[in-house]
Chain A
């Protein structure tokens, strides 16, 4: 079963706009990670936020985490055509030592030039 669930499933925006993707999860976590996947490629790690953190920034990326609501959001500011990709959240099942990573189904982002 999937623990991370992204919302929306797909998002189409104009270049320069901001893109917000949300992720919900079900169990206790140590951290939550966001990955990007370009078409035909493997996943690339973007950012990790720990359970005791509420917000984290990396360049044009801003991630928030609300452990009380078991949710996270990824904001990409001033989007570019090169940001077109699928974005996945992932959580590690701490009950199994953290090795069993659960990925959501992803949000497909399309940025129009």
Chain B
């Protein structure tokens, strides 16, 4: 049982390059989320998908786009990477809304933008 799988685990980009972070879950969860974690801070929500076919902005959506490809997969795209987007990115999923269900996290993608 893999849970939430993120690829790649590490990536270095140059400013202006584009990149798609991949996330897949095998728990048949309805909701999926993308967060970023910066040093000394908690996770900040970038985008979420409450269910297949829907996506919504979180706290820090600028500079990112997402696609809920199907129930299993939720990708995060940086169209033109900037140094301020250097961070650790986490994907998570939950069975329904977070009102009553915990979130399950992947192990993160460590992204450096030079």
- Interface size range of chain B in the complex: 20 to 34
B43 touches A43 (CB 8 A): yes
Question: Whole-angstrom distance from the CB of A74 to the nearest CB of chain B?
Answer: 15
A 41-54 to B, binary, CB cutoff 8 A, 1 in contact else 0:
11111001000000
Instruction: Scan residues 81-99 of chain A and give those whose CB is less than 8 A from a CB of chain B.
Output: 88, 90, 92, 94, 97-99
Q: Which residues of chain B come closer than 8 Å to A41, judged between CB atoms?
A: 107-108
Give the CA-CA distance A105 to B107 in the complex, in Å. Answer: 18
The answer to whether A100 and B105 touch (CB under 8 A), given A43-B90, A88-B43, is no
A3: nearest chain-B partner, CB-CB: B42
B74 at interface by CB-CB < 8 Å:
no
User: Out of A98, A102, A104, which one reaches B97, CB within 8 Å?
Assistant: A98
B56: nearest chain-A partner, CB-CB: A99
B98 touches A45 (CB 8 A): no
B40 touches A99 (CB 8 A): no
B35: nearest chain-A partner, CB-CB: A103
B40: nearest chain-A partner, CB-CB: A105
| Most-contacted residue by chain A among B42, B48, B58, B108 (CB, 10 A) | B42
User: Out of A33, A43, A44, A100, which one reaches B48, CB within 8 Å?
Assistant: A100
